[in-house]
Amino acid sequence: MHHFDRIDGALHAEGVPLEALAGAVGTPAYVYSTATLTRHYSLLRAAADAHRGALGDALIAFAVKANSNLSVLATLARLGCGADTVSEGEIRRALKAGIPGERIIFSGVGKTDAELAFAIEVGVRQINVESGAELERLIAIAAAKGSAPAIAIRVNPKIGAGGHAKITTGGATDKFGVPVEEAIDLYARASASPHLTPVGLACHIGSQIMSLAPMEAAFHTLREMVLTLRANGHSVTRLDLGGGLGVPYHGQTDTPSIADYAAMCARVLEGLGVEAAFEPGRLLAANAGLLLSRVIQVNQRTGSPEEGGGRRFLVLDAGMNDLMRPALYDAFHDLVPVRPREGELRAYDLVGPICESTDIFARDRMLPPLEAGDLVAFMGAGAYGAVLASEYNSRPLVPEVLVDGDRWAMVRSRPSYEDMWAREPRADWL
Ligand code: LLP
């Protein structure tokens, strides 16, 4: 559920009319709802707390990659949320937003020496190690610093899942994590080093996962591994269960519920006495944001249907540079008119202004009549939306707005053309 509703026929973000917002900040623009972020976090918090016996004092570490806006992170920080990060930049963002180091997990398949050193310096909660090569580098870096950071080994359970082949991470040929046997060996290697403190295992098998079954299977693998490691004399106190839970993009009701998800995790971890960590990105942020856009014009194609005649292209001022997900993953985002006109539904192809055929959001969407100047919103755009945006075609980076009740703030501004040129100093010989 989200807090984007109609009041007197016009779509609002909480108490703020999107028409007024578009007038004030222009389009395209991302708009986020504080109430929705809060609701999603609170639902997961309550679900985890309901299983304290099995999950311990579980950490919810928001996957910063999904939405790294400082105000979004600060909103979550105030609720007690932690951060799952994959770069020095993300760690810095989390810290700047007020998330303490002890609630920051550092994941990622390719952390540089400098990033590992930085993570140790700021005292992150745990570093999730993804390979033997990384483990050896980390030992050397920690030794040089005279420290012993907490680490988890990221396991590749050979179970991939997710809404698209390109967002599956747990499969045998995916680049992430280490196979079970190797993970057991790496844990022993870490335990033997005075410069590491192995605390547990981590696993993340994919994103937009619509069934709990593959996650449950992967978590069972972790459970077995905990028993093996303990039998080998090692201490294991934490399990990082990753993110990945699917969210409704179509208004569908078949997504796994947060309560069922937490109950499943508790079932698998029951009796282990470990502390769980969750790394949700999409779950917290996707339906907490929309991309507001204006119709530039409607291009009606003439000619025979076989030759594309009759097609109606809704040309928007948002392009794939602003919202990459449809071009990258054939992702579905609902498009809704901010103030729908009366009239019969008709089929539109939703396209942006970018000079590429991939700049198409959807084909044959049935929508009420739309005209140049009308406002529309892509729903479910709060995760992996603004973070993936670029200035392709020299379009200024899309801004972000955060709404809280009746108030709103521009939380990432749209650069001016001068701002853009200032980042590109001319070579001194030109
Ligand atoms: N933890 C790790 C280690 C991850 O790699 C990810 C996402 C998450 C947590 C959060 O997953 P979530 O709860 O959001 O599913 N850009 C793609 C999604 C890429 C996900 C990458 N990893 C998209 O727009 O669908």
Find the 309 Cα to ligand 1 centroid distance in Å.
39
Query: By percentage, how much of the chain surpasses pLDDT 90?
Result: 92
d(CA 275, CA 261) in angstroms, rounded, equals 16
pLDDT at 169 over 80: no
Going 110 to 115 to 121 to 124, the CA torsion angle's sign is negative
Point out the residues that are catalytic: 355
CB atoms near residue 386 (< 10 Å): 27
d(CA 400, CA 134) in angstroms, rounded, equals 36
107 lines ligand 1 (CB under 6 A): yes
Which is more confident, 163 or 132? 132
What are residue 62's DSSP bridge partners?
83
128 lines ligand 1 (CB under 6 A): no
* Cα 97–Cα 290–Cα 69 angle in degrees, nearest 5: 15
pLDDT tens figures, 15-67: 999 999 999 999 999 999 999 999 999 999 999 999 999 999 999 999 999 99
Specify whether the CB–CB gap between 71 and 408 falls below 8 A: no
* Choice among 167-181, 251-265, 328-342, 380-394 with the minimum mean pLDDT: 167-181
154 lines ligand 1 (CB under 6 A): no
d(CA 362, CA 332) in angstroms, rounded, equals 8
Half-sphere exposure at residue 287, Cβ-oriented, CA atoms within 13 angstroms: 20
Rounded to two decimals, what is the model's pTM? Answer: 0.97
Secondary structure (3-state) at 166: helix
Q: What is the pLDDT of residue 304?
A: 87
Which ligand 1 atom sits closest to the C-alpha of 244?
A: 15
Indicate the angle between helix axes 212-231 and 258-269, nearest 10 degrees: 20
Phi-psi region of 415 (alpha: psi -120 to 50; beta: other; left: phi over 0): beta
pLDDT tens figures, 251-302: 888 899 999 999 999 999 999 999 999 999 999 999 999 999 999 999 999 9
Residue 340 — φ and ψ, nearest 5°? Answer: -60, 140
Which ligand 1 atom sits closest to the C-alpha of 325?
A: 24
* Protein residue with its CA nearest to atom 7 in ligand 1: 207
Q: Which domains does the chain have, with CATH numbers?
A: 4-31+286-422 (2.40.37.10), 34-282 (3.20.20.10)
Secondary structure (3-state) at 15: coil
Closest to 208 measured CA to CA, from 241, 176, 255: 255
Strands 16-17 and 10-13 come out as antiparallel
pLDDT tens figures, 57-101: 999 999 999 999 999 999 999 999 999 999 999 999 999 999 999
Report residue 205 as tokens.
């098998």
| Residue 28 preceded by cis peptide, ω within 30 | yes
Q: What is the pLDDT of residue 162?
A: 79
Residue 380 — φ and ψ, nearest 5°? Answer: 65, 30
Find the 175 Cα to ligand 1 centroid distance in Å.
14
- Mean pLDDT value of segment 127-149: 98
Report residue 363 as tokens.
């084909």
Instruction: Write the burial class of residue 191 (CB in 10 Å: 0-12 exposed, 13-18 middle, 19+ buried).
Output: middle
Q: What is the pLDDT of residue 1?
A: 63
d(CA 151, CA 130) in angstroms, rounded, equals 10
Q: What is the pLDDT of residue 127?
A: 98
Report residue 113 as tokens.
């020496």
Report residue 391 as tokens.
């200035």
Helix (H) or strand (E) segment spanning residue 29: strand 29-33
Q: How confident is the model at residue 165 (pLDDT cuts 50, 70, 90)?
A: confident
CA 359: distance to chain centroid?
22
Which ligand 1 atom sits closest to the C-alpha of 66?
A: 14
Secondary structure (3-state) at 180: helix
d(CA 316, CA 228) in angstroms, rounded, equals 56
* Cα 262–Cα 47–Cα 224 angle in degrees, nearest 5: 25
Report residue 352 as tokens.
């942006």
* Cα 294–Cα 300–Cα 306 angle in degrees, nearest 5: 135
Report residue 428 as tokens.
């001194």
Q: What is the pLDDT of residue 75?
A: 98
Closest to 318 measured CA to CA, from 412, 397, 409, 416: 397
Can you spell out the DSSP letters for 310-335? T-EEEEES--TTT--HHHHH-----E
Closest to 126 measured CA to CA, from 111, 335, 314: 111
SS (H, E, C) 102-154: HHEEECCCCCCHHHHHHHHHHCCCEEEECCHHHHHHHHHHHHHHCCCCEEEEE
Which ligand 1 atom sits closest to the C-alpha of 246?
A: 15
Q: What is the pLDDT of residue 174?
A: 81
- Mean pLDDT value of segment 296-316: 91
d(CA 381, CA 363) in angstroms, rounded, equals 18
Find the 124 Cα to ligand 1 centroid distance in Å.
20
167 lines ligand 1 (CB under 6 A): yes
